[in-house]
Amino acid sequence: MRGPHNILRLIRTGATLERTGAMGVVLDAMEAPAPLRVAARVLGWPFKWLGEKGDPALPPAVRAIQALGPAYIKFGQILSTRPDVVGDDLALELRVLQDKLPPFSIEEAKRQVAEEIGQPVSEVFSEFSPPVAAASIAQVHRARLADTGHDVAVKVLRPGIERAFRRDIDAFYFAANVIEALSPASRRLRPRDVIAHFEGVVLGELDLRLEAASASQFAANTTDDAGFDLPVVRWPYSGRRVMTMSWVEGVPLGDNAALDAAGHDRAALSERVLQLFLNHALRDGFFHADMHQGNLKVAPNGDIVAFDFGIMGHIDEYTRRVYAEILFGFIRRDYQRVAEVHFEAGYVPADRDVDEFARALRAVGEPIFGMDATRISMAKLLSYLFEVTERFGMETRTELILLQRTMVVVEGVARSLDPRMNIWNVAKPVVEAYIKQSIGPRAAASDLWKTALVMARFGPRLPGLVEAALIRQAQPEPERAPSPWLARLLWAVVGLCAGLGLGALWMLA
């Protein structure tokens, strides 16, 4: 239930931050202003006794987030990729949330595996190791198939994880309702829609059959991507709470010392991880939406290997073109065109001034060109972008939440590999290639051809529709004179189908 009882959950969140000592650490890392610090202390200190203790052996921030549960851990994982927002030290501390959380027992894991695949673990696997990685939702075991001898990774959901996530999401809904009630201006950000989107993503992540399907589709899309690889799903040994994939050796992408020791070029890896993401998002419209360091490895041959396909993003062709035009406009510093695209797509209300919006975008874009990443404060940039969107009445686009979030995470991963990486320079060739393919004569011909194919499906029905319309028009109602408009419209559709088909064939030729 999304009722007032969730007040206690939110109070306990602040109390846990205070009790574990994380409140001051987080406020310092975020460089919070004095009024916010005072408010946080005043509201948190009286309820300190309600907070979770957490594991005293852990650093304060990790201790608090881990004690608060899986939804908060997801948020901590995102912050671990943003040293420019929370600082290098805190980002490094939070990285343990990616795949180094306390595991559950191997006996419980074996029980779940046996239930899902319908056979005892000892009959299916000749070896089944203790957990090698444990994250917020599941943990992974290394095993060996008894029949083939192949090494595999067996992913098993945490017991009770569904209930834990529903409890946190319930509290998030309550917080969104309170925010909208107390601050009407926040409604343009659609906080309840954002939580609903997050809920849908998380619930999908809790069914490993869907994750296996996503991995299979992702593999089909990226077969020809140089320097990128994925493990193979073992369908006979997978189910709702268990997923088995081929085992892949590699160095974690977040371990810079190990990458250097293995002789990998971190600057090249930094560029590749960003360009791979952009290719998947723009070219395929289907991308890995949880690309933090814990889900990426570097194979001995230098390939980047992705894991954990529970959160995948999808954007339609039209939205991809809009997104690419916006990126391309920023790269070319054509802020007028960027502003026009926002208006054409309906992202900004039509009653606002497009020229004024273009000037506001210039104030966002100009400071970052010609700078290396070490001089760019992403926190300040995002803060200014928020001010711009608020001033021009832009609403949150829920269909772009995953794309925007993943862009932030991937850029953080890339910068952790090479702090001097410039996102715009690296993105330029990918975006330019997509623009050439999706906007121009060839793209127009492709669109016409697709339209003709869709309309041609109605071809066999058109004669009957025309005949039925003519019969109806020949027997008009007494009070209304017959009208030839419907028949003319249907014949126009026939002509349009023929014209589109011939036009598309001519342009493709």
Tens digit of pLDDT for each residue in 35-69? 656 666 665 667 777 777 888 888 888 888 888 87
Dist. CA 438–CA 317, nearest whole Å: 9
Q: Which two structure tokens, joined as six digits, stand for 455?
A: 């309309």
pLDDT at 382: 52
pLDDT at 140: 94
Tens digit of pLDDT for each residue in 412-467? 888 889 888 877 788 888 888 888 777 666 666 666 776 776 666 766 776 777 77
Whole-angstrom distance between the N-terminal and C-terminal Cα of the chain?
A: 60
Catalytic residues: 290
pLDDT at 454: 67
54 dihedral zone (left: phi>0; alpha: psi -120 to 50; beta): left
Q: Where does the pLDDT of residue 22 fall: very low under 50, low under 70, confident under 90, or very high at 90 and above?
A: confident
pLDDT at 498: 46
- The residue among 359 and 488 whose pLDDT is bigger is 359
Q: Contact at 8 Å (CB) between 218 and 263?
A: no
Q: What is the DSSP-derived secondary structure letter of residue 314?
A: E
Q: Which two structure tokens, joined as six digits, stand for 498?
A: 């023929």
Which residues, other chains included, contact 323 with Cβ-Cβ below 8 Å and sequence gap of 6+? 281, 282, 315, 400, 403
pLDDT at 241: 93
Average pLDDT over residues 499-509: 45
pLDDT at 40: 64
Range with lowest mean pLDDT among 2-6, 98-102, 421-425: 2-6
Average pLDDT over residues 222-243: 94
Does the pLDDT value for residue 99 go beyond 60?
yes
Q: Which two structure tokens, joined as six digits, stand for 240?
A: 């709702």
Does the pLDDT value for residue 296 go beyond 70?
yes
- Residue 42 neighbours by CB distance under 10 Å: 9
pLDDT at 261: 94
pLDDT at 500: 46
Average pLDDT over residues 221-225: 94
State the average pLDDT for the chain: 78
pLDDT at 373: 55
Phi–psi pair at 345, nearest 5 degrees? -85, -5
- The residue among 128 and 506 whose pLDDT is bigger is 128
Q: Where does the pLDDT of residue 379 fall: very low under 50, low under 70, confident under 90, or very high at 90 and above?
A: very low
Using only the alpha carbons of the chain, give its radius of gyration. Answer: 27
Measure the CA dihedral 447/449/451/453, to 10°: -150
Tens digit of pLDDT for each residue in 364-375? 777 766 565 556
Q: Contact at 8 Å (CB) between 276 and 287?
A: no
Q: Are strands 228-229 and 151-157 parallel, antiparallel or unpaired?
A: unpaired
Does the pLDDT value for residue 74 go beyond 90?
no
Average pLDDT over residues 125-152: 92
Q: What is the pTM of this model?
A: 0.70
pLDDT at 305: 95
CB-based burial, 476-509: b 16+ in 10 Å, e otherwise: eeeeeeeeeeebeebeeebeebeebbebbeeeee
Q: Contact at 8 Å (CB) between 6 and 171?
A: yes
Burial of 62 (0-12, 13-18, 19+ CB in 10 A): buried
Average pLDDT over residues 71-76: 76
Q: Which two structure tokens, joined as six digits, stand for 249?
A: 């050796």
Tens digit of pLDDT for each residue in 297-337? 999 999 999 988 988 888 888 888 888 888 788 778 888 98
Does the pLDDT value for residue 344 go beyond 80?
yes
Can you tell me whether residue 482 is helix, strand or coil? coil
CB-based burial, 212-248: b 16+ in 10 Å, e otherwise: bbbbeebbebbeebebbbbbebbeebbbebbbbbebb
CB-based burial, 371-398: b 16+ in 10 Å, e otherwise: eebeebebeeeeeeeeeebeebebebbe
pLDDT at 364: 76
Cα distances (angstroms) measured from residue 129 to each of 107, 142, 151: 11, 5, 11
Does the pLDDT value for residue 3 go beyond 80?
no
pLDDT at 6: 67
Dist. CA 55–CA 18, nearest whole Å: 14
Average pLDDT over residues 161-185: 75
Average pLDDT over residues 138-148: 94
Tens digit of pLDDT for each residue in 395-405? 656 556 667 77
Domain spans in the chain, listed from the N-terminal domain onward: 6-99, 162-203, 248-439, 441-508
Q: What percent of the chain has pLDDT over 90?
A: 26
Range with lowest mean pLDDT among 59-63, 186-190, 210-214: 186-190
Q: Contact at 8 Å (CB) between 99 and 294?
A: yes
Q: How open is the CA angle 194-159-212, to the nearest 5 degrees? A: 65
Range with lowest mean pLDDT among 213-227, 259-273, 494-508: 494-508
Q: How open is the CA angle 7-206-78, to the nearest 5 degrees? A: 65
pLDDT at 9: 74
For 87-90, the CB contacts below 8 A with 24+ separation are: 87/29, 89/29, 90/25, 90/26, 90/29, 90/61
Q: What percent of the chain has pLDDT over 70?
A: 72
Average pLDDT over residues 156-181: 80
Measured N-to-C along each axis, helices 462-474 and 485-508 cross at an angle, to the nearest 10 degrees, of 160
